[in-house]
Amino acid sequence: MAKALWAVVLLVGCAEIDRDATRDETRAAATVVMPVNWIGLVGVTASGNDLSKTDGSATWRAGAASAETIVGPGYVEFTTSENTTAKMAGLSNGNSNPRYADIDFAIYLKANGRFGVYEDGVLRGGNFGAYAAGDLFRVENDDGVVTYWHDGVVFYTSTVTATEPLLVDTSLLTPGATIDDAVLVGTSIGWMNATGMEASGNDLVKSAPESSWLAGIASVDTIGGNGHVQFTTGENTTAKMAGLSNGDGGPRYTDIDYAIHLKATGRFGVYEGGVLRGGNFGTYVAGDLFRIDIAGGVVTYSHNGVVFYTSAVPPVAPLLVDTSFYTPGATIQNVHLVDLGACTAGNTQCTNCVDDDGDGRVDGSDPECTGAIDDDESSFASGIAGDNKDDKWQDCFFDGNSGAGDDGCMYHTCCLLGTGPGTDCPVDPNFDPVTDCPAQTPGCQSLCQPITPPGCDCFGCCTLCDAAGCADVLIQPAVAPNCSYETLHDPSVCPSCVKAPDCGGGDCGGCVLCPGQDPATRPPGCTPSDQCPAGETPCTSSAECSGGEYCSSSECCIAVVP
């Protein structure tokens, strides 16, 4: 079962799912991972989600397909036990026969250890590289665009638009050939109670012809104590509402506990249980992002990342996505429901289960929270008197005080800034990189490294990421007092830095998230053992960490300052 996916069921568009399965609470869009149940077996045998050819003839007349299908975004992933047999696997809109020409989008694993692509029997490329037993392959559909992946890297993008629903389809040539660990993954929300509505994946449209608030739909899945719903729309000329409710009592907008009202005039407001809370919070255009967050028992509403209203009504869990549509043809699109689980409040801003700075990120999911003792969620400063005040010499950035006396850590600021000696250093004309950038002692390493999040060194040089990319910046407030997560790509405010080589929380990127990095950007095939360096525990909230640990924005449990 090498490189098999480790995610678990949350929700699904068309397939039957196990409602008793454990949920994977992530900060990305909810997904469903369905180990394939094989049907239509011809010349093959199935063992769980593995497939092997038992027919003795070397012909393309053996194969099987999945009982499961996906509608909307999703993919199939699989491995193989050998690179000496010929076989194909991929996605198809139905299964007519076991021949490879029946597979709409197929990866061809050759008997010579190389791989190619066939689409409906047409060769798209016969030599994209070499593969070995256990390598992970993926065929992915995203709004009709199909991509092909090998060990997390896209190697071909199709020019043919996919037709849904899609199932896993296979064809095997060589006797004994295998397709292993096949999983079908869907990222579409499951919908119920549709009245005058059509759903396609995560997109909704009113199909009823009359202009009235008698059309709506709700999600099958719910969130518990903390989480959010976010969505866009395709137009600003129709009237519709979307939000969160404790249950679905019908399609009228008065049934929605917390609703954003997108008006046909291009403006937006808030209704709660049919009560107007504000009818004119601003204007919107097609594609703008709206979000309703539940954090620490407080409900906030945001537009393009800016909070515009905080509710006075405490939420009652569980909460599902609830909608009501007035104008025929009105749309709500790209709906994502994210469950962050229960939260136990601590006594600092970075542990109190509250979005203190109103940026839509709570506690450890906020890159400006550097640890459990951090009492300022709005900046990289810790909010602790006397902490990180020296602009010349740096000690352990994450221990809640300044000075090397209690941690044995000492490193010059200009070592981090990567400057030359003397006047090249902006804070010390006597700076000497030979003597002022010492190796760190074992005592410093043993105290500071466990409380340092992945992506950072011990002195506040961190790799931070947002939608525009990643940058290594110095977040030390004594040196960069105006640096914030929103300005990380402005070198005049957030200076670039060079990490200390021998004291840090471990590298980030790939399977290990950097602070601020979207978990959805992880490459396929990441396992829990890949997700955190040095054997740290993966997490989505501090409730999943052991006592004395904190869930950092890298989604790894780090130690709390003793």
d(CA 260, CA 263) in angstroms, rounded, equals 9
d(CA 261, CA 242) in angstroms, rounded, equals 7
**Is the pTM higher than 0.75?**
no
Per the CB < 8 A criterion, the answer to whether 474 and 461 are in contact is: yes
Q: Give domain limits for the chain.
A: 32-186, 191-341
Which helix (H) or strand (E) segment holds residue 65: the answer is strand 63-66
3-state secondary structure 442-510: HHHHHHHHHHCCCCEECCCEEEEEECCEEEEEECCCCCCCCCCHHHCCCCCCCCECCCCCCCECCCCEC
Provide CB contacts within 8 A for 513, sequence distance 6+.
454, 455, 519, 522, 531, 553, 554, 555, 556
Neighbours of 376 (CB within 10 A): 20
- Supply the pLDDT for residue 119: 96
Can you say how many angstroms the Cα of residue 338 is from the centroid of all Cα atoms in its chain?
A: 10
Task: Write out the two tokens for 114.
Answer: 């190389």
423 three-state secondary structure:
helix
Rg of the chain in Å (alpha carbons): 26
pLDDT tens for the chain, 562 residues long, are 333 322 222 222 333 222 222 222 222 334 556 789 999 999 999 999 999 999 999 999 999 999 888 877 788 999 999 999 999 999 999 999 999 999 999 999 999 999 999 999 999 998 899 999 999 999 998 878 899 999 888 899 999 999 988 999 999 999 999 999 998 877 667 789 999 999 987 889 999 999 999 999 999 878 877 788 989 999 999 999 999 999 999 999 999 999 999 999 999 999 999 999 999 999 999 999 899 988 778 899 999 878 899 999 999 989 999 999 999 999 999 887 776 665 667 789 898 877 777 776 778 888 999 888 999 998 999 888 878 888 999 999 998 887 656 778 999 999 999 999 988 899 999 999 999 999 999 999 999 999 999 999 999 999 999 888 999 999 999 999 999 999 999 999 999 999 999 999 999 988 898 998 877 677 877 776 678 886 778 876 776 677 678 888 888 888 887 6
Q: Which CATH number does 32-186 carry?
A: 2.60.120.920
Per DSSP, the residues of 351-369 read: TSSS-TTSSS--GGGSTT-
Same fold, 32-186 and 191-341: yes
- Torsion (CA) 254, 27, 192, 330 in degrees, nearest 10: 60
Query: Number of helices and strands (H, E) in the chain?
Result: 4, 35
Cα dihedral sign, 43-45-51-53:
negative
Cα Dmax for the chain: 79
> Look-up: residue for tokens 């979307």?
242
Per the CB < 8 A criterion, the answer to whether 107 and 90 are in contact is: yes
Q: What CATH homologous superfamily does 191-341 map to?
A: Exo-inulinase; domain 1 (2.60.120.560)
> Look-up: residue for tokens 């004594």?
478
